[in-house]
Chain A
Amino acid sequence: MNNVSKLCIAALVSAGCATGAAADAVMAQKGMKADMVLLPKFLGILVFDQANTGAQEAHAELENPGELLFVGPTPENSVAGQIEIVTTAATQSRDAVMISNNSGDQIVPAAQAAKDAGAKVVTWDSPIPSGEAEDVFVAQVDFASIGEVMAEMAHSILGGEGQMAVLSATPDAANQNSWIAAMQDALKADMFSGIELVDIVYGDDQSEKSYDRALALVDKYPDLGVIMAPTTVGIQAASKAMQDEGLCDEVAVSGLGLPSEMLSYTLNGCATEFALWSFVDLGYLTYYTAYLMATGQIKGEIGESFVAGRMGEYTIEKDPTRENGLRVLMGPFTVYNASNIEAAAAE
């Protein structure tokens, strides 16, 4: 009883308790030990670094005496490297592994080994498609709604009618693929009947490849109106390509981008509108989820609610975008344009 009231006082400071819904939501008990690993798709991409910032923030806040490691594979070795790191985490008996999965279902045996060794497997950013060997997926936003937002941005840029092409990351990136699929679904609505999706190409999250692919799209489809790039590397490379070739008036770039990286392109009209969520928050929420599960404070079952520090209350639910698997839905995301980008980029 004493313990609980102490917890609620601590939580009163945060948003969660103040909503009054904290009655059955689990409040995190600080200071329990859990060794955790945060695994990005690969090292060297700004958004993953931001996720790490958020996770470190939560790590300090929860006073976890255990370790939080941020380790990732080198880019040319992403798939094999991820599998190796998860396998290592299993043998080192880590208490939680947080994965932004870039290896499709190939990660399953390694993740299963980690689970068998007693670790909680929490995916974030990009899930395990089959949901196997995964305890829960922390989804940045509802995948279907990303598809809708991309369709809507294309609609507003094209004025309701025109050709759109997609410039994605790698061909087997689970998150991008499901967003594109969701966008294709959304495009079936009557409202979007004037928009034609002409091509989907992959820049592998490499600047040079994405840049060349964007130019090839423009050459291939002379009537192309918008390039939709649901990746922060792709959207930037495509914007620079259009700017370098003086094509910003003909072809707009949109998709998912970081305000700090996109500022100049939004102001000069090459990428007037794009969306994103906070990766810092995503790392923070992922850490809370994994910490609570690893320390046994929540079990990882449908309907369980918990308070994730400054971000408030979340509930574990069935993931409607996959056949199997559970998710914690973060949301929402922000649409950026000339009116709000400067403030966001300054953050």
Chain B
Amino acid sequence: MNRWSIADLSPQALRLLALLAVMVLVILFFGTQIDRYYSTRMFNRVSTSVAIMALIATGQALVVLTRNIDLSVGSIVGFTAYAVGGVVTRFPDLNPAFAIGAAVLTGAAFGAFNGFFVAYARIPAIIVTLGTLALFRTFLVEYSGAKSIITADLPEWILSLPRTNLFSIGNLDIRLTFAVAVIVVVVVHLAVTRLRIGRKFYAVGSNPEAAVVAGIDSRRIVFLAFIACGALSGLAGFMFLSRFGNITVVAGLGFELKSVAAVVVGGVNIFGGSGTVIGAMLGAILVGLLDASLVRLQYMSEFWREAILGFLILAAVAIDSVFMRRLFAWRYARREKLQARLSAEGKAKGE
């Protein structure tokens, strides 16, 4: 029996394939609706804007894998963008590595705050991070004293960052920020799938009791997941600063919805334990693609775009759960049938 069938692929691989198929369909659809849709400009738009969201989605995916959720990512992005912007405005000669490190550490500190309450105080993540969503934003409002970070005050190296091209394929620019995001995602993906500690994220998410029995310190894993999510959001905050320059207290508002959408659409199970970081990045790309495309639809009103994002989350979860249940039922039935036939053949031979 070496007939290959698509149904033999792992659910993970199937999810990624389905996602790619949806992406192709989306691109084909918008191609018929929008003039000059297939342009290198469009590619550059999506790739540069996705760089920030892919990082946040990666962090979110790590948290969701452990059966939790982080709703405070937007506030973390906003705060780090502002704080680091303030520091480099005051000290323009600061070493870039230090500025980036400060962003990551600031984010990680916020993540540790979340993680402490979720992992050790045993408060549900949705409550903790809903609270810190408002709390971190209020820190920002207080800290900023109603002043904005202004593009003109930022050092040149930060301003030129989003324009920096790593290399070009024809007219397709691969910008530095996009490349960095992809590298980070791949590294995190490898760490989660290949390292011993990475596998523990899946173990804790898929069955916390069994994980504890197996000797895994599940609290520590959840704590680490939040720290990692905070650190990645901090890095995203730095990229946000370099891309938009002008940072007000509204920076990063609403990113929690987008990141959760990217993660769920990317095939990470919202109940934890399954999904991939690569999937989350593809989810972020799909969300970014829709965002960039819908804006260009003549008949699409401003107010509907958020609604479509919400619909996408619902559809992804619903289709995933229905489809996966069907798939497992079908596989089970096929195996039963196969076994029945094999035993019937065996009997026939025996006679």
The answer to whether B243 and A44 have CB atoms under 8 Å apart is no
B27 at the interface (CB under 8 A from A): no
Closest Cβ–Cβ distance, residue B247 to chain A (whole Å): 7
A201's closest neighbor in chain B, by CB? B302
The answer to whether B45 and A44 have CB atoms under 8 Å apart is no
The answer to whether A76 and B246 have CB atoms under 8 Å apart is no
A118 at the interface (CB under 8 A from B): no
Among candidates A48, A49, A74, A216, residue contacting B141 with C-beta atoms closer than 8 Å: A74
The answer to whether A233 and B152 have CB atoms under 8 Å apart is no
Among candidates B39, B147, B246, B251, residue contacting A49 with C-beta atoms closer than 8 Å: B147
Type the 1/0 row for A147-173, where 1 means its CB is closer than 8 Å to any CB of B: 000000000000000000000000100
Residues of A within 8 A of B240 (CB): 208
B248 at the interface (CB under 8 A from A): yes
Residues of B within 8 A of A49 (CB): 145-147
Among candidates B49, B145, B146, residue contacting A45 with C-beta atoms closer than 8 Å: B146
The answer to whether A44 and B291 have CB atoms under 8 Å apart is no
The answer to whether B302 and A264 have CB atoms under 8 Å apart is no
Residues of B within 8 A of A216 (CB): 292, 295-296
Per the 8 Å Cβ criterion, residues 187-225 of A in contact with B are: 201-202, 204-208, 211-213, 215-216, 219-220, 222
B42's closest neighbor in chain A, by CB? A219
Residues of B within 8 A of A260 (CB): 150, 152
**A207 and B245 contact, Cβ closer than 8 Å, known pairs A45-B146, A260-B150, A260-B152:** yes
The answer to whether B152 and A263 have CB atoms under 8 Å apart is yes
The answer to whether B253 and A206 have CB atoms under 8 Å apart is yes
The answer to whether A207 and B146 have CB atoms under 8 Å apart is no
Per the 8 Å Cβ criterion, residues 294-318 of B in contact with A are: 295-296, 302-303
A258's closest neighbor in chain B, by CB? B150
Size of A's binding interface in residues, CB under 8 A = 40
B279 at the interface (CB under 8 A from A): no
The answer to whether B246 and A240 have CB atoms under 8 Å apart is yes
A46 at the interface (CB under 8 A from B): yes
Per the 8 Å Cβ criterion, residues 200-243 of B in contact with A are: 240, 243
Per the 8 Å Cβ criterion, residues 41-99 of B in contact with A are: 41-42, 44-45, 49
Among candidates A212, A219, A236, residue contacting B41 with C-beta atoms closer than 8 Å: A219
Closest Cβ–Cβ distance, residue B55 to chain A (whole Å): 14
The answer to whether A45 and B148 have CB atoms under 8 Å apart is yes
Closest Cβ–Cβ distance, residue A49 to chain B (whole Å): 4
B250 at the interface (CB under 8 A from A): yes
Among candidates A40, A45, A72, residue contacting B248 with C-beta atoms closer than 8 Å: A45
**A208 and B151 contact, Cβ closer than 8 Å, known pairs A76-B253, A219-B42:** no
A249 at the interface (CB under 8 A from B): no
Residues of B within 8 A of A261 (CB): 148, 150-152, 246
Distance of A171 Cα from B240 Cα, bound (Å)? 24
Type the 1/0 row for A62-89, where 1 means its CB is closer than 8 Å to any CB of B: 0000000000101110000000000000
Distance of A206 Cα from B246 Cα, bound (Å)? 9
The answer to whether A212 and B151 have CB atoms under 8 Å apart is no
A229 at the interface (CB under 8 A from B): no
Per the 8 Å Cβ criterion, residues 96-119 of A in contact with B are: none
Distance of A206 Cα from B306 Cα, bound (Å)? 15
Residues of A within 8 A of B42 (CB): 219
Distance of A180 Cα from B44 Cα, bound (Å)? 31
Residues of A within 8 A of B349 (CB): none
A237 at the interface (CB under 8 A from B): yes
Distance of A317 Cα from B187 Cα, bound (Å)? 66
A244 at the interface (CB under 8 A from B): yes
**A207 and B247 contact, Cβ closer than 8 Å, known pairs A74-B138, A212-B295, A216-B295:** yes
Closest Cβ–Cβ distance, residue B194 to chain A (whole Å): 34
Among candidates A76, A201, A240, A263, residue contacting B244 with C-beta atoms closer than 8 Å: A240
The answer to whether A233 and B302 have CB atoms under 8 Å apart is no
The answer to whether A213 and B295 have CB atoms under 8 Å apart is yes
The answer to whether A44 and B162 have CB atoms under 8 Å apart is no
The answer to whether B36 and A233 have CB atoms under 8 Å apart is no
Distance of A49 Cα from B253 Cα, bound (Å)? 21
Closest Cβ–Cβ distance, residue B147 to chain A (whole Å): 6
Distance of A43 Cα from B122 Cα, bound (Å)? 34
A207's closest neighbor in chain B, by CB? B244
The answer to whether B253 and A75 have CB atoms under 8 Å apart is yes
B144 at the interface (CB under 8 A from A): yes
Residues of B within 8 A of A215 (CB): 45
Most chain B CB within a 10 A radius of its CB, from A76, A205, A212, A219: A219
Residues of B within 8 A of A76 (CB): 137, 250, 253-254
B341 at the interface (CB under 8 A from A): no
| 15 sampled A-B residue pairs with Cβ under 8 A | A43-B249, A44-B140, A44-B250, A46-B147, A49-B145, A74-B141, A206-B248, A208-B244, A208-B252, A212-B295, A215-B45, A219-B39, A236-B245, A245-B44, A260-B152
Give me the 7 closest cross-chain CB pairs, A-B, nearest first: A44-B249, A216-B295, A75-B250, A207-B244, A49-B146, A264-B152, A207-B246
Known pairs A48-B146, A76-B254, A264-B151 / 19 extra A-B pairs, C-beta < 8 Å: A44-B248, A46-B147, A49-B147, A52-B146, A74-B134, A74-B137, A75-B249, A75-B250, A76-B250, A171-B302, A206-B250, A207-B244, A208-B243, A212-B292, A216-B296, A219-B45, A237-B244, A260-B150, A261-B246
Q: Which residues of A contact B (CB under 8 A)?
A: 40, 42-46, 48-49, 52, 72, 74-76, 171, 201-202, 204-208, 211-213, 215-216, 219-220, 222, 233, 236-237, 240, 244-246, 260-261, 263-264
Q: Which residues of B contact A (CB under 8 A)?
A: 36, 39, 41-42, 44-45, 49, 134, 137-138, 140-141, 144-148, 150-152, 162-163, 240, 243-254, 291-292, 295-296, 302-303
